Amino acid sequence: MSGKFILKGREYEKAQTLAAAVFLLPTVIVLFFLFVLPVVQVVYISFTNWSLITNVKDFVGIKNFEYLFSDKKFGTAIVNTFTYSVFKLSCDIVLSLFVAVLLDSVIPFKRILRTIYFAPVVVPIVASSLIWIWFYDPGIGPFNQILAALGISKLQWLYHESTSLLSIGLFSVWKGLGYNIVLFLAGLQSIPLSYEEAARIDGAKSSQVFFKVKLPLLSPILSFVVMIGIINSFKVFTEINVMTPNGGPLNSTMLLVVYIYEQAFKNGRMGRGSAAALILFVIIFLLTIVQKQISRKTVHYD
């Protein structure tokens, strides 16, 4: 028994535990400096009035948070972020699942289509953003040319507050659609054919097979796609900064990360930027907990 010890009612080998600790130590050190320490610093800075302009760093308590919740621009950023997330996530799930079902069935040119749908994912986001700026050009852009050919009034797309966030959302859906298709397609192809055959023997139609058999079995993947989509939507920045700098017309594309960047690096108010970043961290953390709870409920589908 000298080579073993008991922890929380479980018995462990001392030598194996020591070896595991040695191998895990480098990872723990890296995580500490890349995650734990930055989070602690952000929490500390969020309670100060640190300014990059004056280099003043005094403790001010919750004044930064009071400022944020009284700032209309911050409220706009939260509303825009949730609006963007709901739109992008809805389109992502419906379109990616639809395309995955098509690719899982017997259709011509399946291999070519699989290459085409995934191509936007590998294109650098800055390069694709610049291309879409031309697509959205009110004068010579292809999108307005198509609308004109259909007899529909041209839109200002990125240059009007009513359509700018929608334009960013359409681009983001196009950019990340292929990744979700891969996930759904992998899930569909992992479903045993015997399940579908048994359902058809019982007289189920194609739509019933999908909604009663395949979709429930895709619940773990669907939960993962939903939560990762929400988290990524809350962290979106590059396309916003490239396509609609400074939050777009009338702050119509002012999202949380854009607001943090503006406060911290444009205004030099690191305290306010850190406070906003801390709020964003709490939101993402809560969403992660929700993801864990959803995953637990869908374990029985594995």
For residue 208, the domain's CATH number is: 1.10.3720.10
Residue 5 is inside which H or E element, if any?
strand 4-7
Calpha distance 196→214 (Å, rounded): 8
pTM comes to 0.84
pLDDT at 8: 64
Residue 275 lies in a domain: yes
Calpha distance 212→221 (Å, rounded): 16
Residue 39 lies in a domain: yes
Mean pLDDT rounded to a whole number for the chain: 86
Residue 61 lies in a domain: no
SS3 267: coil
pLDDT at 302: 43
Calpha distance 263→261 (Å, rounded): 6
pLDDT at 101: 87
248 φ, ψ to 5°? Answer: 75, 180
> Do 113 and 30 belong to one domain?
no
What is the span of the domain harbouring residue 77? 71-301
Please tell me which residue, 69 or 9, carries the higher pLDDT value. Answer: 69
> Do 153 and 271 belong to one domain?
yes
Alpha helices in 150-218 (DSSP H): 164-189, 193-201, 206-209, 215-217
pLDDT in tens, 51-87: 888 888 889 999 999 999 999 999 999 999 999 999 9
Burial, 137: exposed, middle or buried (Cβ in 10 Å; 0-12, 13-18, 19+)?
Answer: middle
pLDDT in tens, 194-225: 888 888 887 878 788 888 888 888 888 888 88
> Do 40 and 82 belong to one domain?
no
pLDDT at 228: 85
Residue 60 lies in a domain: no
Please tell me which residue, 254 or 1, carries the higher pLDDT value. Answer: 254
What percent of the chain is predicted at pLDDT more than 70?
92
pLDDT at 15: 77
> Do 161 and 198 belong to one domain?
yes
pLDDT in tens, 232-250: 888 899 999 999 988 899 9
What percent of the chain is predicted at pLDDT more than 90?
45
Lowest pLDDT segment from 24-38, 96-110, 171-185, 273-287: 96-110
pLDDT in tens, 143-186: 999 999 998 998 999 999 999 999 999 999 999 888 899 899 88
Residue 56 lies in a domain: no
List the end-to-end C-alpha distance of the chain, in Å, as a whole number: 39
Structure tokens at 213: 């058999």
Q: What is the mean pLDDT of residues 11-23?
A: 79
Whether 203 contacts 54, CB under 8 Å: no
C-alpha separations of 301 from 149, 215, 221, 227 in Å: 49, 10, 10, 18
> Do 37 and 121 belong to one domain?
no
> Do 23 and 168 belong to one domain?
no
> Do 122 and 15 belong to one domain?
no
Q: Is the pLDDT confidence value at 9 over 80? A: no
> Do 35 and 164 belong to one domain?
no
CA–centroid distance for 221 within its chain: 15
Calpha distance 196→295 (Å, rounded): 24
> Do 156 and 292 belong to one domain?
yes
Residue 217 lies in a domain: yes
Whether 158 contacts 165, CB under 8 Å: no
Query: Nearest CA to 237 among 256, 251, 250?
Result: 256
Q: Is the pLDDT confidence value at 301 over 50? A: no
pLDDT at 287: 77
pLDDT at 6: 67
Burial, 23: exposed, middle or buried (Cβ in 10 Å; 0-12, 13-18, 19+)?
Answer: exposed
> Do 35 and 126 belong to one domain?
no
Residue 91 lies in a domain: yes
- Domain total in the chain: 2
Q: How confident is the model at residue 1 (pLDDT cuts 50, 70, 90)?
A: very low
Residue 51 lies in a domain: no
> Do 102 and 29 belong to one domain?
no
Calpha distance 91→65 (Å, rounded): 33
> Do 14 and 161 belong to one domain?
no
Q: What is the mean pLDDT of residues 119-132?
A: 91
Q: How confident is the model at residue 20 (pLDDT cuts 50, 70, 90)?
A: confident
Q: Is the pLDDT confidence value at 5 over 70? A: no
Q: How many CA atoms lie within 13 A of 107 on its CB side?
A: 13
Q: Is the pLDDT confidence value at 134 over 90? A: yes
Calpha distance 200→67 (Å, rounded): 61
